[in-house]
Amino acid sequence: MPAAAGSLTVILGYAAGVGKTYRMLEEGQRLKAAGHDVVVGYFEPHGRQETIAKLAGLELVPRRAIQYRQRSFEEMDTEAILHRRPEICLVDEFPHTNIPGSPRAKRWEDVLTLLQAGIGVVTTMNIQHLESLNDQVRHVSGIQVRETVPDWVLQRAAEIVFVDLTPGALLNRLDRGVVYAPEKAQRAKENFFREPTLAALREMALRQTAHEVELRQPDPLEEPRPLAADQSARLPSLEHERILIHVTDSPSAAALIRRGKRVADYLRAECFAVTVVPGPGLASLPAAQRAALEQHLDFARKLHIETRVLDADDPAEALAGFAHTNGITQIFLSKPKAPRFRLLAPRQELVMRVLRAARDIQVTVVADRLPARAGHQD
């Protein structure tokens, strides 16, 4: 029989230096003292001596060296951890992207592999790396975060632990050199470590933690049932809420998909990403348009959204028809940009025509946010 899936604990923060890694190692020491078999699969100290001291007495699984572009990099050795088969593994920096040539692209995929083998994991991440918040984080910080964790992965966690520290206290730690070396600390203060940005990120983290706690509360009207062990596990949905996201080839479609999925998760609703094409499937479209749509639909699938391609000459009628047939309660549309020429005005009419054809359905028109400043955070 396959091993029961391991339990996942995510230690959540809103910025580097709030104490996530310290809390992870503290939990590892507690579990070891209680008699559990604990190893450290990956640990990133960033030179913080208090954190390094917390490693004392814990078994550290050696990292795996990977050669890439004539340089040697070290990644977590998932296969070595599987061979060691501990009861619990501590894994720092959950959203990390592995070096090309690694068995898996993302560290969270490594963690899922450990969980499927029956190994419990305690891991760390910051709120800005949650996929559905990517656009909000860009809006408040002006920085595009490249490394993200899908929301459904976080929902696999049996426990979310929020490590809190006021922005003022965190900035004080930064100034004292506790978080980064002086040169790096100055760069940080010019980016994420501005007090208004930290305050906004902290509020996001607090709200997300409350949401995750609420999701894990049993429904008094339902019999308790365990979360499935496979990656596609979903929380029970509310039958009366079903969401449709209209996917186009516009670059703003990714933000619309994130927005719709986040609302669906809050409502525990089913979610569909739907595109409408005039011919028989995507193959009938020009190459550039087809590639953009395929990219957006693939992104939706990675977020565990069901995708549909409708063949129809009238997108508004097709969307309204699909909505009525499938019991959709909310439709999410992108706000069209003002046309440069009158001949392009019909593109703007889609929203009004959907509103008229789906009068009994809530329609949300989402405007694209302002572009990010130059630069990004991994």
Question: What residues contact 321, with CB distance under 8 A and at least 6 apart?
Answer: none
Whether residue 197 sits in one domain with residue 75: yes
Domain holding 140, by residue range, is 8-215
Asked if the structure places residue 286 within a domain, the reply is: yes
Do 281 and 348 reside in the same domain of the chain? yes
Same-domain pairing of 80 and 189: yes
For residue range 169-182, what is the model confidence (pLDDT) as tens digits?
A: 999 999 998 888 88
Tell whether 232 is covered by a domain.
no
DSSP H or E segment with residue 31: helix 20-33
110 lies in some domain: yes
Tell me the backbone φ, ψ of residue 313, rounded to 5 degrees: -85, -20
pLDDT reported for residue 219? 55
Residue 249: its pLDDT value, please?
93
Tokens of 84: 């060691």
Phi/psi of residue 358, nearest 5 degrees: -125, 55
Residue-averaged pLDDT of the chain: 87
pLDDT at position 86 over 50 = yes
Last residue of a domain, one of 215, 234, 253: 215
Given 198, 215, 232, the domain boundary residue is: 215
In a domain, 377, yes or no: no
- In a domain, residue 229? The reply is no
Same domain for 195 and 300: no
Hey, is 160 helix, strand or coil? strand
What does the pLDDT average to over 186-194? 85
Asked if residue 207 belongs to a domain, the reply is yes
Q: Quick check: 378 pLDDT over 50? A: no
Q: How far apart are the C-alpha atoms of 126 and 344, rounded to whole Å?
A: 42
Say what the pTM is: 0.77
| Residues 250, 124 within the same domain | no
| Domain shared by 55 and 198, yes or no | yes
The total of other beta-carbon atoms located within 10 Å of residue 252's CB is 18
Asked if the structure places residue 43 within a domain, the reply is yes
Question: Is 121 a domain residue?
Answer: yes
Q: Which two tokens stand for residue 321?
A: 């028809």
CATH code assigned at 163:
3.40.50.300
pLDDT at position 215, please? 75
Phi and psi torsions of 333, nearest 5°: -125, 150
Domain count, the chain: 2
Q: What is the pLDDT of residue 233?
A: 38
DSSP-assigned letter for residue 283:
G
Least confident of 149-163, 218-232, 317-331: 218-232
CATH of the domain at 265: 3.40.50.620
